[in-house]
Amino acid sequence: MVEAALPYLTEHFGNPSSTHHYGRRPREAVARARQQVAALIGARPEEIVFTSGGSESDTLAIRGIKADHVITQPTEHPAILEACQGLDTTLLPSTSSAVSTRPTSTRRPPAGRRWC
């Protein structure tokens, strides 16, 4: 991945969303990567959304679908638990062997409070 990304960090580092000349090569690379990822998982290219990292992906997934209820675990990454703040959320118990289907709590945390 480093090898594939290097030209776009050192030489063709224009903004792929820009219409100017410097964005052309990066834009083509992003389109190619989108097609490759889509083919890999059997999706359509327009279904692929690239984000800047894990926390942004968590927030987009949890907040982006406007779910009525979220089910997660207290051991999840803090970015996931923070994205659940203010949402109707069930925290399943964490076990060493399997995911339980019996929720231990259903609560809506006050805004600004952390779950763990």
Ligand X SMILES: Cc1ncc(COP(=O)(O)O)c(C=O)c1O
Contacting positions for ligand X (CB under 6 A): 53-55, 58, 77, 79-80
Greatest distance between any 2 Cα atoms in the chain: 56
* Smallest separation, CB 116 to ligand X (Å): 14
* Smallest separation, CB 24 to ligand X (Å): 28
> Beta-carbon neighbour count of residue 80 at 10 Å?
20
* Smallest separation, CB 80 to ligand X (Å): 6
Q: Name 19's Cβ contacts closer than 8 Å, sequence gap at least 6.
A: none
In the complex with ligand X, the residue whose CB is nearer, 9 or 46, is 9
In the complex with ligand X, the residue whose CB is nearer, 77 or 108, is 77
